[in-house]
Amino acid sequence: MARVIGIDHLVIRVGNFAKSKRFYDKVLGFLGFTLKYEFDGAAGWSNGKTLFWIGEADAEGKKRPHRIGNIGFHHYAFELAKRKDVDDLFGVLKKNKITVVDPPAEYPNYGKGYYAVFFLDPDGLKLEGMYFPKKKK
């Protein structure tokens, strides 16, 4: 039987490629990703384990902007190594005037110690920086 050993890449469509590329350069750069691929209307960043791609939406796709609650993408969570990383990410978001949906806080409904910040990309796609301490055995 085949089994998944990791997530190789994620691709999202964006309404304004140049604007989104600047956004993701800032956010992904802070999170340890580097721009690895760039083509006409597409770019991919890597952290050595996974690739995060953006590509320009076509004309038809641009007619219907993203709305949280629609079928499809809800949010993407970047797992961070420590709680302070969530706070530091929040600082980068504020410095760059990125829309924060929920500032850093504990979310006990997700488990003891779950700590996260939620924010939006230029098209309103929801992203999360989160830390969840591993349970000791």
How long, in residues, is the chain?
A: 137
Domain assignment of residue 66, yes or no: no
What residue numbers bound the domain in which 96 lies? 74-137
Q: Which residue bears the tokens 């709305």? A: 67
pLDDT of residue 135: 56
What distances in angstroms separate CA 10 from CA 25, 48, 73, 76, 107, one per listed residue?
A: 16, 14, 11, 9, 25
How many domains does the chain fold into?
Answer: 2
Write out the two tokens for 89: 């990410």
Secondary structure percentages of the chain, helix, strand, coil, to 5: 25, 35, 40
Are residues 81 and 137 located together in one domain of the fold?
yes
Q: What is the pTM of this model?
A: 0.90
pLDDT of residue 124 exceeding 50, the answer is: yes
Encode pLDDT of 22-78 as tens digits.
999 999 999 999 999 999 999 999 999 999 999 999 999 899 888 888 888 889 999
CATH number at residue 11: 3.10.180.10
Q: Is the pLDDT of residue 81 over 80?
A: yes
| 50 and 91 part of one domain | no
> Tell me, what's the pLDDT at 137?
43
What is residue 15's predicted lDDT score, i.e. its pLDDT? 95
- Summarize the confidence of residues 100-113 as an average pLDDT: 94
